[in-house]
Amino acid sequence: MSGFLLEIAGLNKVYRTRGGADFAAVRDVSFQLGAGETLGIVGESGSGKTTVAKMVAGMLPATSGRIALGGKAFGKSGRSRADKKKIQYIFQDPVSSLNPRLKVRDLIAEPLKLYFKLPPGEIDKRVDALLADVGLPRDYRSRYPKELSGGQCQRVGIARALAAEPSIIVCDEPTSALDMTIQSQILELLKQLQLQKGVSYLFIAHGLEVIYSISHRVLVMKDGEIVEQGDTRSIFHRPRHGYTQSLIGAIPRIPFPAFE
Ligand SMILES: Nc1ncnc2c1ncn2[C@@H]1O[C@H](COP(=O)(O)OP(=O)(O)O)[C@@H](O)[C@H]1O
Ligand SMILES: [Mg+2]
């Protein structure tokens, strides 16, 4: 057994499409994630990132391959609640990922009730602590998702993931639907929470600019396969694959004509 928290080996996903044809969305993907580490997964839309993310989180069965947490491989036949608790998920669309009929308090209490046996008073204390963790005022507990901004909804999504006290959070493009300034606030929050809680992130994005500041290592995917992986600095400064180079070329540069 190696020292990695999460080990993925030879992961494959074949979707059976409606016409009956098979489509290999993820092919032979292998990587490791250490405790307290962030691995960025980057690739264009349709490259298989969400498929990998959902298989890792146990939300989608793998066609083949091994997913092991703490040296123990998950079986084929669905995960126990205790195993689900360990890997949580933050969704790309923060608003639609929240049940519109539940207040913030109940949205955050839901995973607390699912994963822990707590008396009601303790649930409310933990809800308040989680609101503070994600930078939302305490009185937001009685609001509905539609009364929150996109960024605030994503903070609730982060609080729900944290509530389970997972060792890994899969962040599937958690900032793609948000404005630039809100994006960077959410990234800062995630970084801070990692330092406080020691949680590991599998952080997915379609552009390298989001990945750079948060990832310790980066994995580049194209057409369901890994084309390159390495530590963040070497991926950015010495990309070996042409596709990675094209992603770096696509990073928007802020034009400051007055200073040129
Ligand atoms: N349920 C599904 N059935 C069939 N094909 C799917 C399904 N989900 C995703 N795909 C296909 O698998 C490929 C990878 O999708 P996805 O993992 O969502 O990529 P990404 O997250 O990188 O945009 C795409 O071509 C997509 O159309
Ligand atoms: Mg996706």
Q: Are 12 and 26 in contact (CB under 8 A)?
A: yes
Residue 1 lies in a domain: no
Residue 259 lies in a domain: no
Q: Are 110 and 102 in contact (CB under 8 A)?
A: yes
Q: What is the mean pLDDT of residues 64-74?
A: 95
Residue 210 lies in a domain: yes
Q: What is the mean pLDDT of residues 14-26?
A: 91
C-alpha of residue 123 to centroid of ligand 2, in Å: 33
Instruction: Give the pocket of ligand 1 (CB within 6 Å).
Output: 15, 17, 23, 25, 43, 45-51
Q: What is the mean pLDDT of residues 213-239?
A: 94
pTM comes to: 0.94
Q: What is the mean pLDDT of residues 95-117?
A: 97
pLDDT band at 206 (very low <50, low <70, confident <90, very high): confident
Ligand 1 atom nearest the C-alpha of 172 is 21
pLDDT at residue 1 in the model: 45
Into how many domains does the chain fold?
A: 1
Q: What are phi and psi for residue 119, nearest 5 degrees?
A: -70, 150
Q: What is the mean pLDDT of residues 69-73?
A: 94
Per the structure, the complete domain to which residue 43 belongs is given by 6-251
Residue 102 lies in a domain: yes
As a whole number, the mean pLDDT across the chain is 93
Q: What is the DSSP letter of 28?
A: E
> CA–CA separation, 70 vs 114, rounded Å?
23
Residue 49: CATH number of its domain = 3.40.50.300
- Residues 212-224: b if buried by 16+ CB within 10 A, e if exposed: bebbbbbbbbbeb
